[in-house]
Structure 1
C-alpha cells in the first residue's frame, strides 16, 4: 500500500493551488516536474512498484495532491501494456444494407495506422435503433477493453453521446462529425459542402437545368452538407427550386433503383440526377437503363465517394473522391497522440483532408 502524503512538509517552491495555476488537467509530466523526479519514478510510485524509496514516494504523492492529479486508467494500461486496443465504431440502420465500400475503406485506413503505431484495432458494428447503443460504447472504455474510440457517421454526429464520453474521460476522435460534435471532440473530415458545390457546378456547366437529387439518411449531417453545396450551386446559377425534385434514400443500391424509378416516371423528368453517394448513383443508372434510357445522352448521373465499381460500370461514373481511408488514418493518429500524452479527451480541433472531382463519362449535355 502507498503511504499517504504528508501535508506538513510541502514541496519546496510549490505555492498556492498548482491545479489552478496550470489552467488545464495536469499530466504525469507535471507531477514529475513539481516533484523534481523523472517520469519513470512517478509511474513506479503511482503503481506501488519496488525500487522507490519512501522519501521519494512521499515526494511524488505530495505533488499528486498539490496538482489534484487523477490517474487515467487508460494511460496506466498503456504503460503496463494491458490495453493497446482501439475500437472503430460503425453504425447503420438494422434494415439497411451496409455501405460496404465506405466501411471497408474506413477499416483499412484505421487498421494500417493502428498497426504502424503498435496498437490493435477492433471493429464494433451497432444499429441506430439499439436502445443500449450508447451504454455499450461507454462500457467498452470503462471495462478497459478499449483504450479509445473512433466514431464514424452517424454516431460522430451525436453531440449528446459526445458529452457522455467526455464526462467519462474517454479518448475519442470523430470522422465527419456534425457541427456541434466538432466543437466538443477532436475530429477529421473534408469540406463536404464544397464538394457538393463543385460537382453540381460541373453538371450545370454541361447545360442541365432540371434536376433530381437523392438525399441520404437524415442522421448523416455530412451528407446533408453535400446537399447544401448542391443548393448553393443552383442558386448561384439562377436555377429555381421548382426545377428540382429531391427524394430521400438510405445510401443503398436498392434505394437508388427505387428513387430513380420515381424520378424518371414523371412527365417533367430530370435531365440530371445528383446522388449523395455512389451506391445510389449506380442504382440510378441500373434503373434508367432498364427503362430504356441511354446514358449519358438521355440522363446525366453523378455520385459521391469514388467507390471502385464506379470506374468499371458503363458509363463510368463522374463522382467526388472522398478521402475515406485518409480520414480514418488521421483519426487513429490523433487518437494515439492523445493516449500517449497520458490524458483522455483533448481540446477539440479539426483536421481537414483534401477531396477532388473525378471526371468520367456519365455527364453529357441534355438531349433536349
Structure 2
C-alpha cells in the first residue's frame, strides 16, 4: 500500500494529511482528499444515483491516490445487511436433513437474534459443492450478510476458516474442530465426554457387544463422541473389536438400514449406540419389525434429546445436547464481534453443559 505524506496534486482535488501516521486510509481520508462529503464518497463507491460524473471522477482519483481499499465489514454495517446474521447449514447432497438438529439450532439462533434487534437468515449448502467456500465468501462480500455462524461439518474446515479470516468476515463456529477452535470464536459442549458417559451407562448395564452408528464423513463432533465411547470401553478392558461401527447420514432411513445390517450379522450386538436420535428411532423401528423386544433383546441409545425421544416406545435414553442454547450463544458471540469491530473475531470457546437423559431403552442383556 502506498502512503502519501503529501499527496501529489490532483486537478480539482485538494490536499490532505491522510495516512501520515501509518494507518490504512479511511473513507473520511478519501472524502477530505476529494473535497466532498463522506456520503458522496459512499454513493460513488456503491455506484448509486445522484452523483455527477465529475464528482465520481474526483472520488475515484482520490481512491487511487490513497490506494484506498473498501472494508467489506464496514460496508455491510452501513448497508441494509448490517442487521442480518446468517446461519450456515451443510449436509450431504443426497442425505435427508437432520430434522431436529437443524430446527433447534435455527430456533435458538432466531430467538437470540431477534432479542438483540438483528435479523437471521439461513443458507443451506451441500458438503460436496466444489464452490461452497467461494459461495460463503460471496455471501459476505456481496453485502447480503454481515456475519456467519458455521455449523458442523463446515465448522471443522481449517482451510475455510483461514479464508474467512483473511477476508475479515465475522464468524462464530458451532462445535468446531480443535484447529478451528484455536482461530475463531466458537460455542459447543464436550462431545468426547458425552460419548464417554453413554459408554459408561451401557457397560454398567452389562453390555459387552455393541453396534455403533456413526454420522456423515467429516462430522468431527460426532467422531469425538465415538472417541469418548471407545475410551470408556478401553477402561474396562474392551477394545474396538467389541464394536461394529457403520456409517450413516443422521437420517431415520439410515438408522433402519444400519440396524438391519447390524442385527443380521453373525455377532449381533446387545446394544446399539447412535450418533443422533433420528438414527436411533430408525434402529428401534427395525428392531420392532424384526419382532425383537426392547430393551430385553436390544438396548438402544441416541444423541440430541429430540422431542420424539420421549414418545417413542420404549422411551429413548439419550444425551441432551443443548442445541438451542448453543445456537443462541453463537449469535451473542457474533454480535459481540460485530460491535467491537474485531474482524473475524478473537478465538475462545464457550462450553455449554450437557447431560445424560435416562429413560427405558437400556436394560441388562438377556444373555
Q: Deviations over 1:203-228 (max 9, x none)?
A: 11111111111111121000000000
Could you tell me which of 26, 33, 38 is aligned with 1:48? 38
C-alpha distance in 1 between matches for 2:328 and 2:300? 30
Q: Does 1:259 align with 2:258?
A: yes
Q: Does 1:6 align with 2:17?
A: yes
What does residue 277 of structure 1 align with? 276
Q: Does 1:220 align with 2:234?
A: no
Worse-matched range after superposition: 70-79 or 249-258: 70-79
Is contact 2:76-2:145 (8 Å) kept?
no
5+ residue gaps, structure 1: 20-25, 29-44, 51-67
- The TM-score, its normalising length taken from structure 2, stands at 0.82
C-alpha distance in 2 between matches for 1:294 and 1:4? 85
What does residue 33 of structure 1 align with? none
After superposition, where does 1:106-255 map in structure 2 within 5 Å?
A: 106-255=105-254
How far 1:243 moved relative to its partner?
A: 2.0
Q: Tell me, what secondary structure is at the counterpart of 2:333?
A: helix
What does residue 92 of structure 2 align with? 93
What does residue 338 of structure 2 align with? 339
Worse-matched range after superposition: 236-245 or 324-333: 236-245
C-alpha distance in 1 between matches for 2:328 and 2:279? 26
Is contact 1:88-1:124 (8 Å) kept?
yes
C-alpha distance in 1 between matches for 2:140 and 2:15? 29
C-alpha distance in 2 between matches for 1:72 and 1:7? 17
C-alpha distance in 1 between matches for 2:143 and 2:206? 57
Aligned length: 326
Deviating above 4 A after TM superposition, structure 1's stretches of 4 or more consecutive aligned residues are 1-4, 68-71, 79-82
Residues 131 and 76 (structure 1), Cα distance of their counterparts in 2 relative to 1, 3 Å cut: closer
After superposition, where does 1:302-321 map in structure 2 within 5 Å?
A: 302-321=301-320
Is contact 1:211-1:271 (8 Å) kept?
yes
What does residue 56 of structure 1 align with? none
Worse-matched range after superposition: 324-333 or 239-248: 239-248
Q: Tell me, what secondary structure is at the counterpart of 1:83?
A: helix
Is contact 1:297-1:366 (8 Å) kept?
yes
5+ residue gaps, structure 2: 1-11, 27-34, 41-66
C-alpha distance in 2 between matches for 1:293 and 1:107? 36
